[in-house]
Structure 1
Amino acid sequence: MPTRTAVVTGASSGIGAATARHLAAEGFHVFCAARREDRVAELAAEIGGTAVRCDVTSAADVDALAARVGPRLDVLVNNAGGAFGASPVTSADADDWRRMYEVNVIGLMLVTKALVPALIASGAGVILNVGSTAGRVAYEGGAGYTAAKHGTQVVSETLRLELFDQPVRVCEIAPGMVRTDEFALIRFDGDQAKADAVYDGVAEPLTADDVADAITWMVTRPAHVNIDELVIRPRAQAAQHKVHRVKQDG
């Protein structure tokens, strides 16, 4: 039996890196794809995978990724994404919005399009798109990101309809509050205080490993079982605007 293979985009940090590690622990050979070549090279060396420098918004990079993967693929985790800025619609930065749509929607489409033939060839492929609870609920200051992640959700739903007669499952995971090293920091353009405030008083937000564990469970179900969507939050987050925060002493 051939070694199962997986592609994880955005594998240089956070949920992507954690997912690559979890899949490798399950016996997958993981193609770790991200723009930061040094980071994915280090990760691939750690888990016995293959590092691929890939900007998912670049058709040339995505074609090169598909060539490295070859004719057969078992799992694709479309994790590359990101939030840039938190301005109201009336003062939004159009370039930030374009970047979010490019990576969360266009990039997902390019990678999926390039790798679907290999997924079909496996006889039981899985596409796992990493969405967000922001793809289900709007909130002030989040219109650009919520619009992009709503796009991720709708692409997932449409793809499932279009591939209904093919041996490929289409799943989406929608995490809520996840504390990673970079997500909030990038969103607030390196402002550590603003990034820390997102999680202020929340004792146990989700971790990248929590989400990676769920992703690994989803993609390793029997071939006839499709987890259409899984919403995962920390217990402290009852809803987008309802988060239990413990006041700090002093």
Structure 2
Amino acid sequence: MENKIYKDKKMVAEAFSDYFADLVEDKVQFHVALSGGSTPKLIFDVLATKYGNQIDWSKINFYWGDERCVPPIDDQSNFKMTFEHLFSKINVPKENIHRVLGENDPQGEAMRYANLLEINLDRVNSIPQFDLVLLGMGDDGHTASIFPHEIDLWHSEDHCVVTLHPESGQKRVSINGKVINQAKEVVFLVTGSGKAEKVEEIHNQKEDYKKYPASLVIPESGKLIWFMDEEAAALI
């Protein structure tokens, strides 16, 4: 695990954008699973502004690690946020954007998306392998859309699972832990003081830290990087 700590959320976005541009520069094809949230929104803005004309977007295929079961025009849609802050500002082929169809039946969509990953990605030990998976972490320690109360879904045999938000009951489609940990590289994007307690528990392996799905992110490649601001990293 490697920690990269920056003064604030905007500097995290700048640093990760530079990192991403370097990472994809010499790749012929690149498959990335995106995350929702306020930090990725900033990152997408920076990527579009700073690298919109520098990165060859035609070689990058975009997926999502999780998506809310809402239509793509809904304000809660991770796809809508990404479209508004990145795709609408860059020259990326439509066929490179592989969204979760949040408007469809969740169970059927989880199966469809798992099949899409199997077709599009190389497989290692029968598990689809992303080049990069981006993750956030909630104040409760959840990541992707696997929450502590459904942590068993992390180990599901299905590559994609249907999850329930513990408070709203909203259904979501999420990749499972096996897919996350099979990625060539995994990056956490974590900012804000509300994350500091869980960051500290997970990093210092305190008490029942394994009850948090974010603690189970241990890529087999050994390539795990936490991009954090000073507020999120304040207790480590």
Question: Is the TM value for this pair above 0.5?
Answer: no
Q: TM-score per shorter chain, which class? A: 0.3 to 0.5
TM-score (norm 1): 0.40
The structure with the greater share of residues assigned to helix is 1
TM-score (norm 2): 0.41
